[in-house]
Amino acid sequence: MTLAAKYREGNLLIVDNLDMNSGKTKDLMIILKRHDLVDKRVMFVDEEIQENFSLASRNIADFDARKRSHMSVYEMLRKDKLVLSQDCFISLQKQLLAQYQYSGKRSSIKKYMSDLSEAQARIAKLQQHQQ
């Protein structure tokens, strides 16, 4: 829900990767300015945080770089902007999909889908009789 809310607000940014050639804060600030992320509370999330990215970001206030396994909903809500690497975003999608497809929820989802199919069939029959 948090990711969906950030997306609707325009506060979710997906980037190719968080790789940097240098560990200089100045180089990272150029990237932040380009994406209008300066003076905002920002969380960057990736599968693994590269050392250069970590070094460049440690001197920036209200800036957080985390591994996906270490992020929390509370921290995401506290930040103005959330920036995810593409690999991290795909991994999150797979994790969420797996959570909603485990057997406990699968049976209730199948029941709802069955009920929906039956309702659609009834509507189709009613429409045929009205014609």
pLDDT single digits (tens) 103-112:
565 666 667 6
The size of the chain, in residues, is: 131
- Residue 80: CB partners within 8 Å, gap ≥ 6? 11, 40, 41, 42
Helix (H) or strand (E) holding 71: none
Residues 6+ away with beta carbon under 8 Å from 46: 17, 18, 53, 65, 67, 68, 84, 85, 87, 88
When pLDDT is averaged across residues 27-44 and rounded to a whole number, the result is 87
pLDDT of residue 63: 83
Torsion from C-alpha of 112, 116, 121, 123, nearest 10 degrees: 140
| Res 106: pLDDT | 63
3-state secondary structure (DSSP) of residue 11: coil
Question: Does residue 40 carry a pLDDT above 70?
Answer: yes
